[in-house]
Amino acid sequence: MAWVILIVSGMLETVWATSLKASEGFTRLWPSVVFGVSLAASMAGLAYALRSLPVGTAYAVWVGIGASLTAVVGMVWLSEGVSVIKIVSLVLIVAGVVGLNLAGSEH
C-alpha cells in the first residue's frame, strides 16, 4: 500500500507544480487553492510511505515521478519545447529511480 500512496503522491507533485505556475505568484485564487491542497496531500502521502519505505528510495521515486511528469506536462500541454536532450534526460531520471529500487533490495 505504501508504494501505491507514494506513486499517487508523486503524481500530486505534478499537480502542485503546475498549479503553482498557474497561480501566477499566488495572484489567482483557484490555482493557489489547488496548489495548497495538492501540496499538503503530496507531502502527507510521502510521510505515510516513509513509515515503511527507505527514505532514499522513497524520496527518489517521489521526486522522479513528480519531476518527470511535470516536464512531460510542460512539453505536452504548456507548449514548452521538446528536444532529444530533454527526452534522454527524462529516460535517465526513470532509469535512476529504477536503479535505486533495484539496489534498495540489496543488504
Q: pLDDT by residue (tens digit) across 28-50?
A: 999 999 999 999 999 999 999 99
The pTM (predicted TM-score) of the whole model is 0.89
As a dihedral over the C-alpha atoms of residue 55, residue 101, residue 71, residue 44, rounded to 10 degrees, the angle is -30
- For residue 19, how many other CB atoms are within 10 A of its CB? 20
Q: In the chain, what is the straight-line distance between the N-terminal and C-terminal CA atoms, in Å?
A: 22
Cα 98 from Cα 29, distance rounded (Å)? 37
Mean pLDDT of the chain: 94
- Which residues of the chain fall short of a pLDDT of 50? 107
What per-residue confidence (pLDDT) applies to 106? 54
What per-residue confidence (pLDDT) applies to 8? 98
93 and 86 Cβ atoms separated by less than 8 Å: no
